[in-house]
Amino acid sequence: MQNVDIDMLNTIHLDVLKEIGNIGAGNATTALSKLINKKVDMEVPKVNILEFKNLADILGGPENPVVGVLLDVSGEVEGMMMFVLEQRSAHVLVNILMGRDIHHISEFNDMDISALSEIGNILTGSYLSSLSALTNLSIVPSIPHLAFDMAGAILSVPAIEFGKVGDKVLLIETEFAEGIDRVVGYFILIPDIKSFKKILTSLGVSV
């Protein structure tokens, strides 16, 4: 079997993918916690298999304004990695980092955008390096690219990649939250279809 059919994945496969989300996001939230010097909690990761039309529901609907940091992933695992923050959370996070009043809301300036990209870079880097260590597969992230727009528009980019091979998207989603100032965001790993088999096999699961 060359490729893994998304619909053929069983509960063991899904549990393994969830565990990847757990380890990756666990490391990333630890990195975030150090960065802002606050406690950050992480939800249990979800493996979502979604039809395109329902994809944006995971981020509060297609029109919900979000900040998305996207990295292309290459090497032995291919796909995309996204770090997504709801607009309000992005403002709070930037304010914490810049030492401003956390409720201050104005348009993102260049410095804010650069800070958000860098946070995305550090956190996704930490997610991917733990995944790489776990699977012994090389994972090379691209430089981060940031967009502030509607959730549907941002998710159209990975969706189109999946559209080339099927009618569903598989993503490993982990929500995290910083309790006091309520910074809520998501790590989303979107492996290429070809990479599922590699990831699962490297962890000793037969597909």
Partner 1 sequence: MMNTQEIIKVGMADLNTAVYPDILTTLGLGSCVGIALYDPVSRVGGLAHIMLPDSTQIKNNSNKAKFADTATVLLVEEMIKLGAVKERIIAKLAGGAQMFAFNNTNELMRIGYRNIAAAHSILEKLGIKIVASDTGENYGRTIELYTEDGKLLIKTIGHGIKEI
**Residues contributing to the site for partner 1 (CB under 8 A):** 52-56, 61-63, 65, 70, 72, 142, 145-157, 159-161, 163-167
Give the orientation angle of helix 110-135 with respect to helix 87-98, to 10 degrees. 100
Cβ at position 118, least distance to partner 1 in Å: 16
Residues forming beta bridges with residue 203, ordered by sequence position:
none
Residues forming beta bridges with residue 77, ordered by sequence position:
none
Smaller CB separation from partner 1, 16 or 155: 155
Cβ at position 194, least distance to partner 1 in Å: 14
Q: In this structure, what token pair is assigned to residue 2?
A: 């060359």
Smaller CB separation from partner 1, 23 or 113: 113
Cβ at position 101, least distance to partner 1 in Å: 23
Strand positions, DSSP E, 60-108: 65-75, 79-86
Smaller CB separation from partner 1, 173 or 178: 173
Smaller CB separation from partner 1, 89 or 135: 89
Smaller CB separation from partner 1, 40 or 188: 188
Cβ at position 142, least distance to partner 1 in Å: 8
Query: Which CB contacts under 8 angstroms, 24+ apart, belong to 30-36?
Result: 30/126, 31/122, 31/123, 31/126, 32/119, 32/123, 32/176, 32/178, 35/97, 35/119, 35/122, 36/93, 36/96, 36/97, 36/178
Cβ at position 75, least distance to partner 1 in Å: 17
